[in-house]
Amino acid sequence: MGEAYEKVLEIASRRGFFWPSFEIYGGIGGFYTYGNLGTRLKRNIEELWREIFVRRHGFYEIEDPIINPSRVFEASGHLTHFREYVLECARCGRIVRADHLIEEQLGIPAQSIDGREVERLVGEGKVRCPNCDAELKAPVTFLTMFQTKIGAKGEEVGYARPEAAQGMFLNFRRCIRQARGALPLGLAQVGKVLRNEIAPRRGLFRLREFTIMEVELFFDPQNPSCPWFDRVKEEEVAILTEEMQERGERKPVRITLGEASSKGLIKAEWQAYFMGVSKEFITMLGIPEERQRFRGHLPEERAHYSVQTFDHEIHLENWGWIEVAGHAYRTDYDLSAHQRHSGVDMTLLRSDGSRFIPHVVEPSFGLDRLVHVALETSFRTMEGRNILAFPRSIAPINISVLPLVAKDGLPEKAREVQRILMDAGLVVEYDERGSIGRRYARSDEAGTPLALTVDYQTLEDGTVTLRDRDSWRQVRQRIDALPPLICRYLKGEIGFSELGIPAGDV
């Protein structure tokens, strides 16, 4: 395991970012609990996503139930397709996910293995039980959705949603009316989804319950251009298309989104647009450009509803490229399916009198994966100390307030300063336990951008020191001037040196 990964998991559980759930009962794979710091970090990332993907575009946000009646997933195709091949050992009974085992034992990438390939490889005895090396039984498929019964008599079978997207399709007719019939229409939803993963692993990366952030963008296929495409079309991205992978190429090309769209590498302009927005968002989380790429899904791995999907992937020291978002062109697949199964008309009318079902492009982010990625990429050490150098906009705590010593009226003064900053809307952590050096170290390890110290001089002239998490430089400033300055600093409008005069010069 890579050092950063190990360290981050250790800090995460010790400092209260996240840890495995149900600990006191021995735990169960695929469920994690967020603590105070993790909850704040997760919310901040969600808010940044909302700002960039929803508010800026004037999209509508909805909140739909997690439990849906089975009819929804019969129509959407999930009951047929949301399945994984599993293999059971004929001797010890161990159950494993077929694609993971084949990748591990034969080195064939999991994403390029379809059902026929699994049957052939198992039939030819090419893979064996990872536990006891015995033969495996014939592969079977396993529905990775959680089933439940709705109501006291259990008369209705329900399923927990594995994606939030269906809520946007089910409520499309209402929402388009509320939007006065106008396309393009963006509907967004953030919420929990559940998947009964066979092999939950890698901490927050493969969970059984996780948070998804999705936009479904509805447009007229006869008018497929995105009005905001100019904003991103000069943006260069690294792309590894489906065709390149089929030719055995492994190195992505760097190309502008405008060119990728005009050459047809990306089928829908809206998809290319959201890939540009996605790059902006991920970069704002502190992930450098060279660790990002878009990889096209191979036909075997593409979801049943998609004609083209690009995963936004991030390179991590430990695991190589990992997916944090999927950009899918879902066409009219879902609305047509719900129209067929419900009998409800999903068409819209064009000005020339023709009727059509809108097409859909979907950017879909896994929030928990972003939490991990933000933690791991922000981790560094300085003089042997751990620092989580989060971008200021997502740091869980804005500022630590520290009395130099816990006596002589300094704690009381520090509490006053804490109140002033809290009243200004800041998230403040007060800490008076241990030496000032240890408290700075605790603050840096929590990723808090600023530490404020109340000392004896504060009692004389009403000034405090502010310390920068990343450089450990210090400046001095008057308490009454702090709230607006710190707010501007956190928004990135001013730099650290503009927060005051160097502490040594006072």
Minimum distance from residue 278 beta carbon to ligand GAP (Å): 11
CB-nearer residue toward ligand GAP: 30 or 403? 30
The values of phi and psi at residue 402, to 5°, are -130, 120
Minimum distance from residue 324 beta carbon to ligand GAP (Å): 5
Minimum distance from residue 374 beta carbon to ligand GAP (Å): 13
Task: Mark 365-394 with x for binding to ligand GAP (rule: CB under 6 A) and - for no binding.
Answer: xx-xx-------------------------
DSSP 317: T
The residue whose Cβ lies closest to ligand GAP is 366
End-to-end alpha-carbon separation of the chain, Å?
47
Minimum distance from residue 164 beta carbon to ligand GAP (Å): 7
Interactions with ligand GAP, residue window 158-217 (CB under 6 A) = 163, 165, 195, 197, 205-207, 210, 212, 214
Rounded Cα–Cα distance for residues 28 and 17 (Å): 18
CB-nearer residue toward ligand GAP: 258 or 366? 366
CB-nearer residue toward ligand GAP: 213 or 402? 213
CB atoms within 10 A of CB 297: 20
Rounded Cα–Cα distance for residues 378 and 242 (Å): 31
Burial label, 64 (beta-carbon count in 10 A; 0-12, 13-18, 19+): middle
C-alpha angle with apex 318: 312 to 321, nearest 5 degrees? 20
Rounded Cα–Cα distance for residues 410 and 480 (Å): 17
CB-nearer residue toward ligand GAP: 202 or 473? 202
Q: Which two tokens stand for residue 486?
A: 């710190």
Residue 91 region by backbone torsions, left for phi larger than 0, else alpha for psi between -120 and 50, else beta: alpha
CB-nearer residue toward ligand GAP: 65 or 502? 65
Site size toward ligand GAP (CB under 6 A) is 20
Minimum distance from residue 68 beta carbon to ligand GAP (Å): 14
Minimum distance from residue 193 beta carbon to ligand GAP (Å): 7
CB atoms within 10 A of CB 160: 19
Among 12, 314, 324, 452, binds ligand GAP (CB under 6 A): 324
Classify strands 236-240 and 253-256 as parallel, antiparallel or unpaired. Answer: antiparallel
Among 364, 398, 400, 453, binds ligand GAP (CB under 6 A): 364
Minimum distance from residue 88 beta carbon to ligand GAP (Å): 22
Burial label, 326 (beta-carbon count in 10 A; 0-12, 13-18, 19+): buried
Task: Mark 330-359 with x for binding to ligand GAP (rule: CB under 6 A) and - for no binding.
Answer: ------------------------------
CB 240 within 8 A of CB 109: no
Q: Is 326 in the site for ligand GAP (CB under 6 A)?
A: yes
Residue type for position 380: R
CB-nearer residue toward ligand GAP: 139 or 366? 366
Give me the residues that bind ligand GAP (CB under 6 A), please. 163, 165, 195, 197, 205-207, 210, 212, 214, 323-326, 362, 364-366, 368-369
